[in-house]
Amino acid sequence: MRIFAIGDLHLSGAQPKSMDVFGRHWARHWDRIRANWREVVQPQDVVLVPGDISWAMDLGGAQVDLDEICQMPGQKVLLRGNHDYWWSSLSRVRAALWGDTYALQNDCIRLGDAAVCGTRGWLCPNPGQFSVQDEKIYNRELGRMELSLKAFQKTGLPTENLVVMTHYPPFNDHQEPSGFTALYAQYGVKRAVYGHLHGAGLRNAYEGTMDGVQYFLTSCDYLEFKLQLIAQI
């Protein structure tokens, strides 16, 4: 079983929205992702999608985009991003999914010998750029991440078989430690994926190994619209 990831798909099947306004490299981006996905992913593989899935404003509008993902090969795990306004109650989202497609929200999903934990995340503390409201949401997301990691412990799987994902980066613009990185250390996380960053924001990205955790930025434009291999289990 291989685990891939690609985030920030920004699909818009119900009311097409051209992504070319964000750069010519976005032209036909879903066609390119879809072609690569079908080329590399086998039915037993896992594909993680860490947020910003659809531009739709409600679940009905997002259904066409979810259907696009559900019909793709592999076992798909979706996480909410900051633009996923259509993501309502978890039960409704899960009811809209089919074809080995799962919604992850503050829990742990086990797929064979692999497990996936995660939560949306939020802005991490930055000097002078972190409001009282940010702190409130950040602390809530930390609590949700810990719930997810505690759920993983009940699987009995080794941490080498775990991938954690957030939509937001789990550190600030200076790649400084955060409550998320502290939780990763506490629970023995070895691999973590995130998205959210594009364009000028990529200067704040980090990929590589930090304090024993391997980090992957998986925004689709950063990956040149090709899936990133995260692990083989």
- What ranges make up the beta strands (E) of the chain? 2-5, 46-50, 75-79, 101-104, 108-111, 114-118, 162-165, 191-194, 208-210, 213-217, 228-232
Is residue 21 scored above 60 in pLDDT? no
What's residue 205's pLDDT? 85
What's residue 73's pLDDT? 98
What's residue 178's pLDDT? 95
Average pLDDT over residues 99-120: 96
Confidence of residue 66 (pLDDT cuts 50, 70, 90): very high
Mind listing the pLDDT tens digit for each residue in 161-209? 999 999 999 999 888 899 999 999 999 999 999 999 888 778 778 899 9
Residue with the two structure tokens 């879809």: 34
Is residue 8 scored above 70 in pLDDT? yes
What's this model's pTM, rounded to 2 decimal places?
0.95
Average pLDDT over residues 102-107: 95
Assigned CATH class of 2-232: alpha beta
Domain ranges of the chain: 2-232
What's residue 20's pLDDT? 63
